[in-house]
């Protein structure tokens, strides 16, 4: 019988919560992506250790006095590649529940199986949210074909991270490995947020080339947030920095994209951003504590 995750994090003792950490390989050595995509993304991000184990990820964040949201992506239909074992990921997070928070993932293109999988991961395994990558999974989240899944996730009451903007996956490959950037336009999530106001949506990454759109959506919709992963803060669009310092200070979340970007590198660049002193702890910790329901 699969191990169920139970939260063991003391948020009051943390310095930060990283909302965006990938598990790229399982205990059997199975990669979360086809080899060509893994190699291309490693080259794009210039990452040093592309495939740390779940226990190693836990060690990294424990040493930094941080917690981390960990996930993989189920893109079996588009990539013709089986995902990592999500039950194993959740079991590993349960083993390290003082620092790790597992998010599940289902392939929306599998229809009823996706709905059943989401319920299983949330109710029986204890997933604390879900991760989607519309470009990698090859679907338009605003298409009403997928509305039964969003209805299910809204009923479960768990937040969902959606990749938005530019894509390191497939970068530099012919045709980008068939990955279509338009599926990651944040405007597609505006419709989802409007039609499912009880669904907490996290738009992952600075949404270049659609940053103004992302800023507008997060400002307009109380159920939409932005995580700051995937980019060094020194490259953040100016509009995102300004909004994070003002109207979006309660809506933006620390995230790295580890192992592609390390927390140390991200935080080093973050320290140089022109942010108010009272805004920094909101981004690093407080907003995530509220969103994830860790406040006790």
Query: Could you tell me the domains of the chain?
Result: 16-292 (3.20.20.140)
**Residue 8 CB neighbours (<10 A):** 14
Report the C-alpha gap between 57 and 55 in whole angstroms.
5
Length of the chain: 296
- Say which range, 42-51, 59-68, 194-203, 228-237, has the weakest mean pLDDT: 42-51
Would you state the pLDDT for residue 295? Answer: 81
DSSP per position, 158-211 = --EEEE-S---TTTTSGGGGG--GGGG-THHHHHHHHH-TTS-EEEES--TT-H
Checking if the pLDDT of 44 tops 90, the result is: no
Checking if the pLDDT of 296 tops 90, the result is: no
Would you state the pLDDT for residue 289? Answer: 98
The alpha helices in the chain, defined as continuous H runs, are 35-45, 54-63, 76-79, 86-95, 112-119, 134-137, 147-156, 187-195, 211-220, 238-244, 263-270, 280-281, 287-292
pLDDT digits (tens, 9 = 90+) for 97-134: 999 999 999 999 999 999 999 999 999 999 999 999 99
The residue assigned the tokens 């169920």 is 4
Tell me the HSE value of 182 on the side-chain side, using a 13 A CA sphere.
Answer: 3
| Token digits of residue 35 | 């080899």
Would you state the pLDDT for residue 60? Answer: 96
pLDDT band at 46 (very low <50, low <70, confident <90, very high): low
**Helix (H/G/I), strand (E/B), else coil: 128:** coil
- Rounded to 10 deg, the angle between the 86-95 and 54-63 helix axes is 40
Smallest CA-to-CA distance from 69 within 291, 224, 295 is with: 291
pLDDT digits (tens, 9 = 90+) for 52-79: 999 999 999 999 999 999 999 999 999 9
Span 144-162, average pLDDT: 98
The residue assigned the tokens 């605003």 is 142
- Say which range, 22-36, 158-172, 216-230, 235-249, has the weakest mean pLDDT: 22-36
3-state helix, strand, coil in the chain (%, to 5): 45, 10, 45
Model-level pTM? Answer: 0.95
**Helix (H/G/I), strand (E/B), else coil: 21:** strand
8 Å CB contact between 30 and 56: no
Identify which of 38-42, 46-50, 172-176, 290-294 has the greatest average pLDDT. Answer: 290-294
Span 27-54, average pLDDT: 72
Smallest CA-to-CA distance from 146 within 130, 128, 126, 124 is with: 130
Span 173-192, average pLDDT: 94
């Amino acid at each position: 019988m699969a191990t169920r995750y139970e939260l063991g994090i003391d948020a009051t003792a943390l310095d930060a919560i990283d909302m965006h950490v990938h598990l790229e390989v399982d205990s059997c050595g199975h990669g979360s992506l086809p080899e060509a995509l893994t190699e291309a993304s490693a080259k794009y991000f210039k990452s040093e250790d592309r495939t740390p184990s779940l226990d190693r990820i836990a060690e990294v964040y424990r040493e930094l006095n941080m917690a981390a949201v960990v996930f993989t992506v189920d893109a079996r239909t588009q990539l013709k590649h089986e995902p990592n074992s999500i039950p194993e990921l959740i079991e590993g997070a349960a083993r390290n529940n003082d620092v790790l928070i597992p998010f599940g993932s289902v392939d929306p293109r599998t229809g009823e199986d996706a709905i059943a999988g989401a319920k299983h991961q949330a109710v029986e395994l204890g997933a604390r949210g879900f991760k989607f990558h519309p470009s990698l999974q090859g679907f338009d989240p605003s298409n009403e074909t997928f509305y039964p899944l969003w209805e299910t996730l809204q009923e479960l009451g768990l937040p969902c991270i959606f990749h938005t903007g530019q894509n390191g996956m497939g970068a530099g490959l012919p045709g980008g490995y068939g990955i279509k950037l338009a599926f990651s336009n944040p405007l597609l999530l505006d419709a989802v947020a409007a039609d499912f106001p009880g669904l907490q949506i996290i738009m992952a990454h600075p949404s270049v080339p659609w940053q103004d759109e992302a800023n507008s959506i997060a400002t307009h919709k109380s159920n939409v947030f932005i995580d700051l992963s995937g980019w060094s803060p020194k490259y953040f669009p100016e509009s995102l920095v300004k909004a994070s310092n003002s109207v979006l200070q309660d809506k933006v979340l620390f995230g790295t994209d580890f192992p592609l970007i390390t927390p140390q590198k991200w935080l080093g660049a973050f320290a140089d951003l022109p942010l108010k002193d009272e805004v920094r702890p909101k981004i690093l910790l407080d907003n995530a504590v509220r969103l994830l329901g860790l406040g006790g």
